[in-house]
Amino acid sequence: MLTIALGALIGARYAATACPSLPGCGDVSWPAAAGWSALNPFATVAAATALGDDGGVALHLLHRYCALTTLLLLGIGSLQALMHGATRARAGLMLALLLVQFALGVLTVVSGFSLGLAVAHGACAAALLAATVQLLVRPAA
């Protein structure tokens, strides 16, 4: 949920263009102290953030670090669920969605933040959340 919220803040803050490189934001690998104010969801934004803006960079880096953590945790959980016959199909779906989500995230940045790819990235995040909840809530038979 934190990864999704940070991704939503990137869109809400018009911060996509603040960090057009991978894996970090230019030579920055950790958000500057001045950028933490971008985490306030109630702040009013008047215009898109500029390249290298502290707040935009902070959002991007935090989103990317949370995404890598999510990839690791859900990937391990999916691999463990693959070992059980009752959860094998749902775990396979979750692994596939994880890989597609990662690819869409990278492609979104590499493409210069294409709107279609960004929307697909958000839709895949919702599908991944639904698949995760289904795997957790639905008991194995």
**Nearest in space to 50 (alpha carbons), one of 100, 96, 14, 80:** 14
Q: Could you give the C-alpha distances from 60 to 26, 93, 141, in angstroms and in order?
A: 12, 27, 40
Element (H, E) at 128: helix 115-137
With cut-offs at 50, 70 and 90, classify the pLDDT of residue 140: low
In this prediction, residue 65 carries a pLDDT of 95
Indicate the domain borders of the chain: 2-137
Alpha-carbon distance of 97 to 99, in angstroms, equals 5
Q: Is the pLDDT of residue 8 over 90?
A: yes
pLDDT of 86 above 90 = no
Torsion of CA 83, 2, 36, 45, to 10 degrees: 140
- The β-bridge partners of 105 are none
Q: Residue 71: name the closest of 98, 92, 94, 43 by CA.
A: 98
Q: pLDDT for 16-68, tens place per residue?
A: 889 999 988 888 888 888 888 888 888 888 778 888 889 999 999 999 999 99
In the chain, the percentage of residues whose pLDDT exceeds 90 is 62
Provide the pLDDT for residue 23: 87
